Structure 1
Amino acid sequence: MTALSIGWPGKGLPWGRLWFDIRRSPLTLVGGGIMLLMLLLTLFSPWLAPQDPDLVDLTARLLPPSADHWFGTDEVGRDLFSRVLVGSRQSITAGLLVVLLAGTLGSLLGCLSGVLGGWLDALIMRGMDIMLSVPSLVLTMALAAALGPSLTNAMLAIVVVRIPFYVRLARGQTLALRHQAYMQAAMTFGASRWHLIGWHVLRNAMPPLVVQASLDIGTAILMAATLGFIGLGAQPPSAEWGAMVANGRNYMLDQWWYSAFPGLAILVTATSFNLFGDGLRDLLDPRSRGR
């Protein structure tokens, strides 16, 4: 039994069949298309921005959307369209890095806990249970406040809070795989624990972990924006979506565009990753393909 036999795209799932399944899910196509567009904007935003996002022009402060300023301007005359574009680099990159770090560390720790068992497994899982007993946002805010207000510290706080979710998922997959014949055979022939984790467990546990990661990107972006909104994330004059929404709330009644467009960027981006993650879960679930 290999990763290919439980749903990982490859010889067990031809790419033609994969594309056929994707086309049968309009929401997956929409989410994947928007996600790809946002990633491209993130990559090329410095060159696509029509104006300098940090250029202050007090004569153009709080202008409404127009041909010169598509999203209007902020309280010091900076072009909001350029700032939203450039801000995608901080917000989306933060989400991707958080999921990469939390997913990698949590998956390794969960697989190690499941393979070793015993007192170490109990110690790791009780620690994860303690962290999960505290609401995620509250714990994230506490850690970010303790580390100090900055985007880097906010990302570290989110990583710590998201690790237990991957630990529990990876451990559950490991326990399910530990009694498979190929695992028993590998242990009989003296395979090391790291060989079991890297060659057998992680490869076969990868599909649900990838699905969890794809769904978590939207969550990480929202959490980073939340920390930015309350002043624990990116600091001025950085163009970060959550901080922009926070600054614009003071002008919400008359200058609605200030908060509306950064908030819309957060909503569209998080929704696209969630839609794509839902579709990916259906594609990698063997039961959904057994039609």
Structure 2
Amino acid sequence: MSSQIIQPPVTAVPRFARLLRVGWIVRRSPLTLFGGFIMAVMLAVTLFAPVLTPQDPNAIQLALRLQAPSAAHWFGTDEVGRDLFSRVVAGSRQSVAAGLAVVFIAGTLGSLLGCFSGMVGGLADALIMRCMDVMLSVPSLVLTMALAAALGPSLTNAMLAIAVVRIPFYVRLARGQTLMLRHLPYMQAARTFGASRWHLISWHVLRNVLSPLVVQASLDIGTAILMAATLGFIGLGAQQPTAEWGAMVANGRNYVLDQWWYSAFPGCAIMITATGFNLFGDGLRDLLDPKGRGR
């Protein structure tokens, strides 16, 4: 009589269990759903901006300058007669794209540098972290303004300046997670079998630190949009005639007492977009880090 090894059946977790968890979190925090809705709408506006603009955002019509909101011009016109609704919609491509690009650059470089620093240790780790500490010792806005001024006023240079300033936050987060992982048994086993540092970082470390990094990135998008608008407001971001929300608010401040719509609508676009991304990021933190809210 042959003996057979009976293995317990493997129960697969149904896919809809994750959807149930997402639905439970959304029901518990409806602001997460609200933030996700705002984020989806702004991303759709960014993608389809050329289709959604009823008029040319750069078309000058001096006879229609500084007109109040009406059926012909939903958000009114600016000092040279350009349609503000078209410019706000077109400006989403600059502001939202700038926030996404900043987070992508800073998150990618900062995560790799932080994981490398935590894995290597020693003198290289000390040098990298001291450089990050020096950058963090300077107020973020001041350092961003200095870098943007040194590079020259343009939206691309403003994005690079903001990305450089945000890198230390990802470095510290990735390094802290890496230090917790580097001494775990499966990491030691991988080293025993001859795994290289790059293999450990790409195959083991990055996969385990991805959740907090994604949460940090989602929360940083709103901050990056606000910083890009700030640089545009002081003249270090997008230049005329490019439609950008911060620059539009800056141009409208000279007319704010009589033509309130000039600054109000671009300012509301900045506020709504940043709020939506922040609400969604907060909900994403609840979803990926259940311990963060006492669950």
Interval of TM-score (by shorter of Structure 1 and Structure 2): over 0.9
Q: 1:107 is matched by which residue type in structure 2?
A: S
Q: Which of residues 32, 41, 44 in structure 2 aligns to 1:28?
A: 32
1:146 aligned residue: 150
| Alignment of structure 1 residues 1-291 onto 2, 5 Å | 14-287=18-291, 291=295
Deviation at 1:120, TM superposition (A): 0.1
Q: Which stretches of structure 1, 4 residues or more, deviate above 3 A after TM superposition? A: 10-13, 288-291
CA contact (8 A) 2:107 2:217 kept: yes
What SS class does the counterpart of residue 38 from structure 2 fall into?
A: helix
Q: Counterparts of 2:48 and 2:70 in 1: how far apart (Å)?
A: 23
Structure 1 residue ranges without an equivalent (≥5):
1-9
1:173-213 Cα distance to aligned partner (Å, 9 max, x none): 00011121111111121110001100110000000000000
What SS class does the counterpart of residue 228 from structure 1 fall into?
A: helix
What's the TM-score, normalizing by structure 1?
A: 0.94
What's the TM-score, normalizing by structure 2?
A: 0.93
Bigger Cα Rg: 2
Q: Counterparts of 1:143 and 1:12 in 2: how far apart (Å)?
A: 48
Q: 1:75 is matched by which residue type in structure 2?
A: E
What SS class does the counterpart of residue 54 from structure 2 fall into?
A: coil
CA contact (8 A) 2:233 2:246 kept: yes
Q: Counterparts of 1:104 and 1:223 in 2: how far apart (Å)?
A: 19
What SS class does the counterpart of residue 48 from structure 2 fall into?
A: helix
**CA distance change for structure 1 residues 287 and 268 in 2, over 3 Å: closer, same or farther?**
same
Q: Counterparts of 1:42 and 1:272 in 2: how far apart (Å)?
A: 14
1:1-29 Cα distance to aligned partner (Å, 9 max, x none): xxxxxxxxx97972332233223210100
1:3 aligned residue: none
1:153-189 Cα distance to aligned partner (Å, 9 max, x none): 0000001000000000000000011121111111121
Q: Does 123-132 or 177-186 show the bigger shift?
A: 177-186
Structure 2 residue ranges without an equivalent (≥5):
1-13
Q: Counterparts of 1:130 and 1:288 in 2: how far apart (Å)?
A: 29
Q: Counterparts of 2:78 and 2:180 in 1: how far apart (Å)?
A: 54
Q: Counterparts of 2:168 and 2:274 in 1: how far apart (Å)?
A: 21
Q: Counterparts of 1:285 and 1:131 in 2: how far apart (Å)?
A: 28
What SS class does the counterpart of residue 50 from structure 1 fall into?
A: coil
Q: 2:49 is matched by which residue type in structure 1?
A: S
CA contact (8 A) 1:25 1:279 kept: yes
Q: Counterparts of 2:222 and 2:25 in 1: how far apart (Å)?
A: 23
**CA distance change for structure 1 residues 69 and 12 in 2, over 3 Å: closer, same or farther?**
closer
Q: Counterparts of 2:293 and 2:128 in 1: how far apart (Å)?
A: 35
Q: 2:164 is matched by which residue type in structure 1?
A: V
1:204-227 Cα distance to aligned partner (Å, 9 max, x none): 000000000000000000000000
* Two-structure CA RMSD over aligned residues (Å): 1.5
What count of residue pairs does the alignment treat as equivalent? 282
What SS class does the counterpart of residue 14 from structure 1 fall into?
A: helix
**CA distance change for structure 1 residues 126 and 12 in 2, over 3 Å: closer, same or farther?**
farther
What SS class does the counterpart of residue 232 from structure 1 fall into?
A: coil
The percentage of aligned residue pairs carrying the same residue is 78
1:48-73 Cα distance to aligned partner (Å, 9 max, x none): 11111011001100000111111000
Q: Counterparts of 1:126 and 1:112 in 2: how far apart (Å)?
A: 15
Q: 1:48 is matched by which residue type in structure 2?
A: L
Q: Counterparts of 1:273 and 1:164 in 2: how far apart (Å)?
A: 21
Q: 1:39 is matched by which residue type in structure 2?
A: L
